[in-house]
Structure 1
Amino acid sequence: MTRQIAILHGWGDTSASFRKLERFLAAEGYDITRIWLGDYISTDDDVRIEDVARRMQAVIREKQDAGELGPHFDLIGHSTAGLVMREWAVRYYPDGQNCPVRRMLMLAPANFGSRLATVGNSFIGRATKGALNGFQTGREMLNALELGSPYQRSLVTRDLLDPDGAGTGPYGPGGIWPFVITGSRGYRTISRRLVNEDGSDGTVRVPAANLNTAGITVDFTGNIDIPEVRAWGSRTGGMALPFAVLPDRDHTQIKYPGDSSGAVADLSSRLGALILEALACETADEHQQIAARWREVSEETAALAADTARRRGLFRSRAPLAQEIHRYLQVITRVRDDQDEPVNDYFIEFFSPDARSDASLLRFQNDVLDHVHVNKLDPSVRCFYIDRDDLMARFYRQRAGSRGDRQLAASIVAANPGRNIRYFDKEVEGARGHLLLHSDSEPERAALGARRLHRNATHFIDIIIPRKALDRVFRLGR
């Protein structure tokens, strides 16, 4: 095959780790002399993702002008490279037109962050990972990779979502065709098991890899009882982006089509087949057909959670536990007041609106909500990690007062900024806003609509709350 391929590594990695993938492609007929392996600085503190994307564009132009790189090539990236590729695409080809890349394949991309980024930016990270690099670990890169980072929000509103309408982006039938493959198996070695997390590949959560995302703005300023809800537009024109979840791959093994974590042949060969399928895509219609087929692959992975016998039969050694391959979702909230100032001190509760009780709150906290992260650079942002399978199978079915329908609501309580200012109500302290997120019986009132809590996906919720000054803040007297 004559088409050229460029491969990009992730944070703290080098191009040398892609030799196995290079050999795999060569064995499938690709000419390895036409495969480029990119290297970039990722662990120096002053380098940002935008810097790498800018240098990437300059190098591509230089190679093309010299006749070494053709006018069209495919792009493969791992982990942090997903953000680099997206930044490069939306910065230089915002509508996807005239881009030299048509097929963009991401392996376990950290599109919506990684829980480990906070560890890498900590003292422990600098003392271990940074020991050989002047105690630098790539602070700017890790800030971008932190869950709910300002950079991720900036990027997603430029290339995937439009909070103000339905703008265009680089991905679409006439633009770039993205593909994402990720694993849901944690690390096997004892030294790395400590970082494992259910629903992840040990480094990146499954919903954090998926490019199929959604967002809403919830505005309480006009009515604190019935807020205005505005859905964000899609910059992909509603096009589904192919996304496959494999049960036998951790964050490292997703780069090695020939290797797997003790899986039998028919499962361990699936990664290579998916990679070749993406690289062979020739039309926009075929891209959408692949999206449908890969959705079935992800559902097969999820089905293994309930099929213990088949799950054990697919692995020669220890099979993953059911909880490890549950489908999760992320909800990223950002709270501002009606003067567009950040609200950092707030609390969100999830509950059943027809059974609001301490037991209902505890059931969600214990059975469904696995983790909450407050972003370090912007504390007005929270990332909630929710076990969607347990939400459906345990919380909805076991909640008190259930009428058979599925409903999920959320409330926000914001701490007042001082003695002169109140949120929501100028006289009442501790006032709260209430929102019905999801309802089968009342979909027209639900912010996310019926069946809109997407599995394996990230949801953005921007919340605007009213800021009220007490009467004593200003008075007129005679």
Structure 2
Amino acid sequence: MSNPLVLIHGYSDVPESFKNWEKSLSDRGFDVANVHVCGYRSLTNEVTIKDIAEGFDRALRLRAGLNADEPFDAIVHSTGMLVIRAWLTTYAKQEKRKRRLKRLIAIAPASFGSPLAHKGRSWLGAIFKGNRSLGPDFMDAGDLILDGLELASRYTWDLAHRDLLSDEVFYGPDDNTPYVFTFCGATNYKGLQGLVTNPDGTDGTVRWAGCSLNTRKIILNLTTEDDDTTVKRLDFGQWRNDRRSNFQIPFIPIAGLNHGSIIENPTEELVDLVVKALAVSTSEEFQEWNKTAIQQTEVTLKSMVPWQQFIVRAVDERGDPITDYHVRFNAGYKDSPSDLKPLDVDVHVYSGDKSLRSFHFDLKKLDLENLARLRIEVIASSGTDLVRYYGHIDSDGTEDADKNTKQSAASHWTAVFDMGQMLSNSEVKLFYPFTTTLIELQLNREPEAWLPNGTKVTWFVEK
């Protein structure tokens, strides 16, 4: 007998959107009485994703009839992925919860948000997507949920640290954690809807690179002390849940579907893959499913533009956010490596904390096979000469402890970091399509003890 199956919809959606999924599953022998569709209020400004996750836990017990220990499977769409991840990782119950959830089917998941979320917070977004039911929440757009869904949000940054980058395993190769299967439509919206949405590298709503749980963290540490020569400047974390490791959660694209049609009109190919995923019960079966699904969708994947997402957070040596900074990427190619050209990159600054930025790269335009140099320029400003940012690497790109890294223009600091050696290192690579990489950029922040005009930040009164 199969486990109870829970379906969770996305932002601004309704449970009825799963009706074709329910029919398709019923046609393949699933007991409709054992399929439970979960609805939630997303168009209310005071409700958070964590609120929905805990509400889901109560609804699971009270309405779906599952007791506290009964295992279940889940199919989640879009924001539903953030809801189930929040449910898995919140409070001390997480050990029991991740053992209960046996199979997690992620359909176009907003694992790292959506490029449309910040638009939904505007008045125009409320007109088209907001709550139209008369009452206290009339015209609400769900501000706190959209804040979590915004690209490079603090919510998704922290959530990734709780489950994807944690030492504790949340998505593993055995039944101690859920088996995860990630799908996304390979096309975007058509017609009028396509004219107002369709950001590059998306299914119309979520980025392909931000769907899967394939991620890692890189720390670029430019902090310095006068006697410190042992700091590891570039620390590449291990890939988590990636097809290049022994354990993989592959990104499976489905031809002909976008963010809406993947839930409203799933293809036979998608339903068949999901039904087979729901039958996986061992590590060997999971690996075999992955192998088959990758082979089956290989042509679709090769037809897609390979995008990669980087989420950068800049902090000082105390861990406080640096909000006024800029990152520029310049590339040199094998035919003329000294001729550096700026890279075309889609940048989004998170509105709630400008220390967080999303950088979206079209790897096809980057021409990785001919890439010889990659120079990263970091410009940081405190906005005042009373406080300065500085770091270990000089603005000329050299690394020399004897040089003055604390530039005279105290409120404005520039550094160049050359990634050329790393590009030639076969063991360490920066670019992988359809993945998200987190980068923490660390700088020093220091108040000036004395400026030429005699101004100081802090002083004692002379007697």
Short-chain TM bin: 0.7 to 0.9
Partner of 1:200: 202
Q: Which residue does the alignment assign to 1:157?
A: 161
Is the Cα–Cα contact under 8 Å of residues 337 and 372 in structure 2 kept in the other structure? no
Correspondences of 1:46-61 after superposition (within 5 Å): 46-61=46-61
Work out the CA distance in 1 between the residues paired with 2:62 and 2:131.
35
Instruction: Identify the residue that residue 317 of structure 1 maps to in structure 2.
Output: none
SS of 1:192's equivalent in the other structure is helix
Q: Give the 3-state SS of the residue equivalent to 2:130 in structure 1.
A: helix
Look up the SS of the partner of 2:41 in the other structure. Answer: coil
Q: Is the 8 A contact 1:408 1:438 kept in 2?
A: yes
Q: Deviations over 1:24-58 (max 9, x none)?
A: 00111111111111111111111111011111112
**Deviation readout 1:134-168 (Å, 9 max, x if unpaired):** 11011111000000001101111111113xxx343
TM-score under structure 2 normalisation?
0.83
Residues of 2 paired with 1:375 and 1:461: CA distance?
Answer: 15
Partner of 1:456: 434
Q: Does 1:416 find its partner at 2:396?
A: no
Hey, what's the Cα distance between the residues in 2 that align with 1:63 and 1:127? 32
Q: 1:271 deviation in Å? A: 1.3
Alignment of 1:190 with 2:165, yes or no, is no
Is 1:177 matched with 2:179?
yes
Distance 1:439 1:106, change over 3 A: farther
Q: Which is richer in helix?
A: 1
Q: Which residue of 2 aligns with 1:315?
A: none
Contact 1:241 1:288 in 2 (8 A): no
CA RMSD of aligned residues (A): 2.9
Residue in structure 2 matched with residue 321 of structure 1 by the alignment: none
Q: Which aligned pairs between 1:15-30 and structure 2 lie closer than 5 A?
A: 15-30=15-30
| Mapped partners of 2:71, 2:224: distance in 1 | 51
Offset at residue 431 of structure 1 (A): 3.1
Deviation at 1:387, TM superposition (A): 0.4
- Corresponding position of 1:219: 221
Paired position in structure 1 for 2:308: 329
1:355-370 counterparts in 2 under 5 A? 360-362=340-342, 364-365=343-344, 369=345
1:243–1:294 Cα contact (<8 Å) kept: no
Distance 1:409 1:427 in 2: 20
**More displaced, 147-156 or 188-197?**
188-197
The one-character-per-residue Cα deviations of 1:324-376 (angstroms, maximum 9, x if unpaired) are x201011110001113221111111112368687x6333x12xxx2x110000
What residue identity is the alignment partner of 1:44? T
**Could you tell me which amino acid in structure 2 is paired with residue 168 of structure 1?**
V
Distance of aligned partners of 1:85 and 1:439 in 2 relative to their CA distance in 1, 3 Å threshold? farther
In structure 1, the partner of 2:394 is none
Once structures 1 and 2 are overlaid, which stretch shifts more, 171-180 or 134-143?
A: 171-180
Asked whether the 8 Å contact 1:332–1:383 carries over to 2, the reply is: yes
For structure 2, the 5+ residue unaligned runs are 391-404, 451-455
Q: Which moved more, 1:453-462 or 1:240-249?
A: 240-249
TM-score, normalised on structure 1? 0.81
Counterparts of 1:188 and 1:233, CA distance in 2: 38
1:467 Cα deviation from its structure 2 partner? 1.8
Asked if the contact 2:215/2:240 (under 8 Å) is kept, the reply is no
Q: 1:203 to 1:233 in 2, by over 3 A?
A: same
Paired amino acid for 1:88:
W
CA distance in 1, matches of 2:269, 2:131: 38
1:206-226 deviation line (CA, Å, top 9, x unaligned): 011111111111110138999
The corresponding residue for 2:13 is 13
Quote how far apart the aligned CAs of 1:292 are: 3.5
After TM superposition, give the deviation of residue 452 of structure 1 in Å: 3.6
In 2: Cα distance, 1:67 partner to 1:127 partner: 38
Superposed, 1:74-473 pairs within 5 Å as 74-91=73-90, 94-95=94-95, 99-130=99-130, 132-133=132-133, 134-162=138-166, 166-169=167-170, 171-173=172-174, 174-222=176-224, 228-232=233-237, 239-256=247-264, 258=266, 268-297=267-296, 299-304=298-303, 325-352=304-331, 360-362=340-342, 364-365=343-344, 369=345, 371-392=346-367, 397=370, 406-424=372-390, 425-429=405-409, 430-437=412-419, 442-443=424-425, 450-472=428-450, 473=456
Q: Which moved more, 1:248-257 or 1:207-216?
A: 248-257
The percent identity for this pair of structures is 26
The 3-state SS of whatever aligns with 1:274 is helix
